[in-house]
Copies of this chain bind each other. A is one copy, B any other.
Amino acid sequence: MSNCIVAQSGGPTSVINATVAGVVKANQMNPIYEHVYGGLNGIEGILQERFVDLTDMTEYENLVLRQTPSSALGSCRYKLKRDNVEDFEKLMKIMEKYDIETLFYTGGNDSMDTVAALSEYAAKNGITNRRFVGCPKTVDNDLMHTDHCPGFASAAKFIATTALQTWLDLNVYPASRKEVFILETMGRDAGWLAASACLSGKVDIVILPEDSFDKELFLKRVRECIEQKSKCYVVVSEGARYADGTYISAGESKNDLFGHAVLGGAGEALKSMILEADAAPRAKVQDLSSAQRSHASEQSLVDVTESFRLGMSAHMRSADKAFTGKMVGVKRREGEEYEVDYFAIDADQVANFVKGFPKEWILPEYAGITDEAYAYLRPLIQGSPVLIYEDGLPAYVEPYYMR
């Protein structure tokens, strides 16, 4: 009997480990693989033969793993380049050496490209006993074809909850204190996270990357809010930009290894605009930074359940020897009640595309999002898992890459 390996890539989410837990649990329920290995630090660690054996994980560890944020197996930003044949050959050899038939890879766009590239390579070289399956995860929710991405909903829930709480915080002082609160969220190219703050029902102004930023319009809206009710609650995506594509945080941006802009400072940029134009005498910025993607103590039950089942579904589908080069996604059923089915799609249809927040869901003048958007978002944040605590803090597995 052959083995499988599961590995994680890209930025953390608060439910990314639930997919790993799902693969492990599925194999315990139907052991189609002799060993379920965990590859440490994604493809980078697999190329260094850094594995752990997850096959016999206890039920308790599986439960704790599901509630542990960030990649318990470690992550990487290493991208397999199609012209780097050496890496492909090396990986196939390592898989042969350890008799690994299937690699499950969780990640975003880049990881789905890795899955597609590996299965293409295997097909071209007549390698039929090495298979590659992608599982989506990204707080950015920007993958094509899947209705949404595991990790997004828990981040959305944390953002909406924080918006509600900090809106209450903003409003406690009398009307004589005029103040703007600016919540900055992640979302380089997609406004899903910023938009989800609207679930709080308290956002006055929301600026998404899919919209174009107009400084005068923004300041007009701030002035109106301050005049009407002395407080103004603004949410901005790190990727918010002017019509010409310039980030409003320009000047603070750098590029990462993949050439993606590393952003930050959109909130501070808005604050400066407000104070310079005297649209309000006070403005405060909260950048949710790393906490928004790793705040697993408020997971959405829908999210963590789907992430777990998505791992199980990937494992179950891989019993089919022809199953490779696929990503397993989530499809929402038609109808009033929220229901999902799991499905598979070619990973190359997902790789390197971005699904933005639909422009038709954005209200004019940064006033928020449409009812259609709420109908999409609302079901995703429902429910709270019962968490296991140890001595006052949530119990988390010790990262496998540190053991």
Contacts and interface: CB of A to CB of B under 8 A. Distances in A.
Interface of A: 8, 12, 14, 41, 44-45, 68-71, 74-77, 157, 160-162, 164-166, 168-174, 177, 181, 199-200, 284-291, 293-298, 300, 378, 381-384, 387, 389, 391-394, 396, 399, 401-402
28 contacts: A12-B169, A12-B172, A14-B165, A44-B174, A68-B168, A70-B168, A71-B172, A74-B174, A76-B173, A161-B394, A162-B295, A164-B394, A165-B290, A165-B291, A165-B294, A166-B291, A168-B396, A168-B399, A169-B294, A172-B399, A172-B401, A199-B393, A200-B393, A286-B287, A288-B291, A291-B291, A297-B298, A300-B392
Nearest to A162: B291
A166 B394 contact: no
A29 to B, nearest CB: 28
B399 A378 contact: no
A393 B160 contact: yes
A394 B392 CA distance: 20
Which of A74, A157, A168, A391 has most B Cβ within 10 Å?
A168
A290 B166 contact: yes
A396 B166 CA distance: 12
Contact of A168 (B12, B160, B174): B12
B173 A77 contact: yes
B396 A392 contact: no
A353 B353 CA distance: 59
Contacts of A181: 290
B165 A295 contact: yes
A378 to B, nearest CB: 7
